Amino acid sequence: MSEDLTKVVEELISSGKGDLTRLQNILELLRRGTPISDSDQDYIESISGKHEFTANDLPVEVPTDIPVIPKDYSSDNPGFMSEIPTDTPVETPDNDNAESNTRDKKTNTKKRVISIAVIAAIIIISYTVLDVYAVNSLQFRPHRGTQAIISDTEISIQSDACNPSYFPVSFSKYQITAFYKSEVIETATIGGGTLSPKSASTFDGIFALNKDVITKYQNTSEQFNASNAQITTKVYAPIFGFIPYAVEKNYGADQFQKIIKNGPPELYSCQ
């Protein structure tokens, strides 16, 4: 057998295959009758394409119904994905399942928080819009009752307030201010409260004269000119009780006397 191997090594050296120095060392050992190592044997077989079969090399019948999974499934093997049997179930480690469940829980929790925030925002916006609408719908008129003199410049008064809307409304005060040449000459301030939908109530207030301004014009020869007068009404109704909000309306000079006497000219829907 060593003679055949010697010829193989000689042919490899003649053909220039393999490591010439290593082959010459192997050839020298073979000629002296010294056994070569298994690694040298494998090296000769790998470059010569010849294999010396032993009893262990006998073919074994392999069942064809068992999928053969390649040993190298690393990313360095470019064909590794195509070689993986598609019908072989792949088990996911428990820690991957745990991480996936944790991510799903976090995602679901985030979605619930976002949904709650959106619903809350819709409720707040809707309430604000309805509240503003109800405040804008409020109607006022002087109450036909007795008036008490508080001082030479103040009189206690009352005002009827009507909420014609379908929503409850609260206001902190209702104020009428009379200006003459941009100076305040009279104010009527009505205390606020809460009105149910489609209901009315009576609120107390104070009518006050600005004595200094009135005296100023009384000491002049200038006559009262309605074109220099203006009325402003304001309904103060903080949204949620703390966000400042007011509904303001202005009236021209031709309405001045009527507003002072009868209140704003809007319709009064409550009976």
How do residues 105-139 score in pLDDT, each as one tens digit? 777 776 666 766 666 655 555 545 656 777 888 88
**Residue 200 within a domain:** yes
Is the predicted pLDDT of residue 58 greater than 80, yes or no? no
What's the CATH code of the domain at 238?
A: 2.60.40
User: What confidence category does residue 189 fall into, taking pLDDT thresholds of 50, 70 and 90?
Assistant: very high
Can you state the angle between helices 20-31 and 38-48, rounded to 10 degrees? 120
Last residue of a domain, one of 34, 59, 84: 59
Task: Tell me what the pLDDT averaged over the chain comes to.
Answer: 74
For residues 28 and 6, the answer to whether their CB atoms sit within 8 Å is no
- Number of domains observed in the structure of the chain: 2
- 143 with 258, same domain: the answer is yes
**Residue 76 within a domain:** no
- 149 with 253, same domain: the answer is yes
**Residue 105 within a domain:** no
% of residues, the chain, pLDDT over 70: 66
Last residue of a domain, one of 44, 59, 74: 59
**Residue 1 within a domain:** yes
What's the predicted TM-score (pTM) here?
Answer: 0.50
What pLDDT score was predicted for residue 120? 60
Range of the domain at 251: 139-262
pLDDT tens-digit readout, 45-54: 888 875 443 4
With tokens 């103060």, the residue in question is 236
Alpha carbon separation from 99 to 91, 93, 94, 108, 110 (Å, rounded): 15, 10, 9, 14, 16
**Residue 82 within a domain:** no
Does an H or E element contain 5, and which? Answer: helix 2-15
Tell which residue, 26, 56, 58, 60, has the closest CA to residue 42. Answer: 26
**Residue 131 within a domain:** no
